[in-house]
């Protein structure tokens, strides 16, 4: 596990996923056997690794990625590094014949992302990319509505994502400063469009076109040491995606908005038979039969309570941490060849959407996305 001192590596992948799986006695396979996990922590700072290992009763850690990759007792390489450090590390892991599981984006550009998919295929190593948003309770409820045919014909999707990330003078910023420097692999398009790509292609249809406008609304931010720096990366993106089948999806992504929503991510889906608003946890619906009939009249204040016309989809199953559920699926893929749709090629499609989104923002044109093969 490379990068466990980071935000995602520590909390979601080590503590909430691998250690939770270890504490549960491993992952159950289809024949009832269990496969246990035994992590080795890899990183650059001995003191941090030793401290995390001691805190969680982990026997193995090393500052040498090469040594860990050369050791046949480790089957899976997992990568939670800053994006810019990912490609060289994964390339080595593929060459060492390890199965590879990684955070998104798999690379900073499409060419590198596709090359990783090609290398993994040639080497015959199993590969997976985090698709965590698909495992959120709100999006799983939404998926069930789609599969049940609740919407009739889906017309449009509107995604609102974002919150106020403090610039860092006074109140500390909630996100690492590299996210706001293009030269360090930052930018909201490279960060979020890979998520939007897999959400859209798995729920509504392949993304065929993108039109995007980006901005760096806050040109100065303050880093972890309190030093002012120039924000060189986009911190907001306003995009329209054209999907196979005709659905139009519009997404606002911003680290410079104050939240006036129920959740930090919300997707509104409108269809001929009904509509839904899904967040991370909740999902509310309005059926065609219960749709009010608004009339436009600027002379009279509108007393109708539109929020009251929506009904919360009840919870009918237990939702576990999504990172853990996807880790379990990947480990089953490694151990017993269970299906795995979220591979490096899927990761490369996400990077392609980010790249084409940035191209659209730079040129002002709507850009088409080709279908991608290894």
Tell me the β-bridge partners of 238: 213, 252
Q: Whole-angstrom Cα distance, residue 305 to residue 47?
A: 56
β-pairing, 27-28 vs 34-35, is antiparallel
Q: Is 196 exposed, middle or buried (0-12, 13-18, 19+ CB in 10 A)?
A: buried
Q: Whole-angstrom Cα distance, residue 246 to residue 143?
A: 18
In angstroms, what is the minimal distance from the CB of 45 to ligand NAD?
7
Contacts of 270 (CB under 8 A, 6+ apart): 151, 154, 155, 156, 157, 158
Please write down the long-range contacts of 119-123, taking CB distance under 8 Å and 24 or more positions apart. Answer: 119/91, 119/94, 119/95, 120/94, 120/343, 120/344, 121/374, 123/94, 123/95, 123/97
Using an 8 Å Cβ cutoff, are 134 and 252 in contact?
Answer: no
**Exactly one of 33, 44, 304, 366 binds ligand NAD (CB under 6 A); which one?**
44
In angstroms, what is the minimal distance from the CB of 112 to ligand NAD?
13
- The yes or no reply on residue 3 touching ligand NAD (CB under 6 A) is yes
The span of 7-15, 138-146, 269-277, 325-333 binding ligand NAD (CB under 6 A) equals 7-15
In angstroms, what is the minimal distance from the CB of 85 to ligand NAD?
4
In angstroms, what is the minimal distance from the CB of 258 to ligand NAD?
21
**Exactly one of 108, 112, 191, 234 binds ligand NAD (CB under 6 A); which one?**
191
Structure-block tokens of residue 121: 């295929």
The span of 1-9, 160-168, 198-206, 285-293 binding ligand NAD (CB under 6 A) equals 1-9
In angstroms, what is the minimal distance from the CB of 278 to ligand NAD?
17
Name which of 98 and 284 has its Cβ closer to ligand NAD.
Answer: 98
Q: Report CA 325 to chain centroid distance, whole Å.
A: 14
Site string for ligand NAD, 246-275 (x = CB under 6 A): ------------------------------
**Exactly one of 146, 176, 208, 256 binds ligand NAD (CB under 6 A); which one?**
176
In angstroms, what is the minimal distance from the CB of 106 to ligand NAD?
9
Name which of 89 and 154 has its Cβ closer to ligand NAD.
Answer: 89
Site size toward ligand NAD, by CB under 6 A: 19
In angstroms, what is the minimal distance from the CB of 53 to ligand NAD?
14
Residue list 74-133, contact with ligand NAD (CB under 6 A): 80-83, 85, 103-104, 130, 132
In angstroms, what is the minimal distance from the CB of 319 to ligand NAD?
16
Name which of 104 and 324 has its Cβ closer to ligand NAD.
Answer: 104
The span of 2-10, 16-24, 215-223, 335-343 binding ligand NAD (CB under 6 A) equals 2-10
Name which of 312 and 320 has its Cβ closer to ligand NAD.
Answer: 320
Residues that bind ligand NAD (CB under 6 A): 3, 5-9, 43-44, 80-83, 85, 103-104, 130, 132, 176, 191
């Amino acid at each position: 596990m490379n990068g466990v001192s980071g935000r995602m590596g520590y909390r979601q992948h080590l503590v909430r996923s691998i250690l939770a799986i270890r504490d549960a006695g491993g992952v159950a396979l289809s024949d009832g056997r269990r496969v246990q996990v035994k992590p080795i922590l890899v990183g650059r700072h001995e003191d941090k690794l030793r401290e995390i290992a001691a805190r969680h009763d982990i026997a193995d850690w090393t500052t040498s990625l090469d040594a860990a990759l050369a050791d046949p007792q480790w089957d899976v390489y997992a990568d939670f590094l800053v994006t810019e450090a990912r490609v060289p590390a994964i390339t080595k892991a593929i060459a060492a014949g390890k199965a590879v599981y990684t955070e998104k984006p798999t690379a900073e550009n499409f060419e590198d992302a596709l090359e990783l998919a090609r290398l993994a295929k040639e080497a015959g190593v199993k590969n997976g990319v985090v698709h965590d948003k698909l495992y959120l309770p709100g999006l799983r409820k939404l998926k069930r509505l789609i599969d049940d045919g609740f919407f009739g014909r889906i017309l449009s999707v509107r995604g609102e994502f974002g919150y106020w990330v403090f610039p860092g003078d006074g109140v500390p910023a909630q996100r690492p400063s590299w996210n706001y420097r293009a030269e360090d692999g930052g930018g909201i398009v490279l960060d979020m469009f890979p998520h939007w790509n897999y959400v859209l292609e798995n729920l509504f249809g392949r993304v065929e076109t993108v039109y995007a406008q980006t901005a760096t609304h806050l040109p100065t931010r303050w880093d972890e040491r309190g030093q002012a720096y120039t924000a060189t990366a986009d911190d907001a993106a306003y995009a329209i995606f054209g999907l196979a089948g005709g659905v139009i999806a519009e997404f606002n992504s911003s680290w410079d908005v104050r939240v006036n929503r129920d959740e930090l991510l919300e997707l509104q889906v409108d269809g001929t038979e009904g509509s839904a608003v899904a967040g991370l946890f909740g999902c509310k619906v309005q059926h065609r039969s219960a749709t009010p009939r608004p009339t436009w009249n600027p002379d009279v204040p509108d007393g109708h309570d539109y929020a009251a016309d929506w009904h919360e989809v009840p919870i009918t199953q237990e939702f576990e941490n999504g990172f853990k559920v996807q880790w379990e699926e990947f480990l089953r893929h490694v151990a017993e060849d269970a299906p795995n749709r979220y591979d490096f090629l899927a990761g490369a499609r996400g990077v392609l959407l980010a790249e084409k989104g940035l191209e659209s923002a730079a040129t002002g044109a709507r850009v088409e996305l080709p279908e991608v093969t290894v």
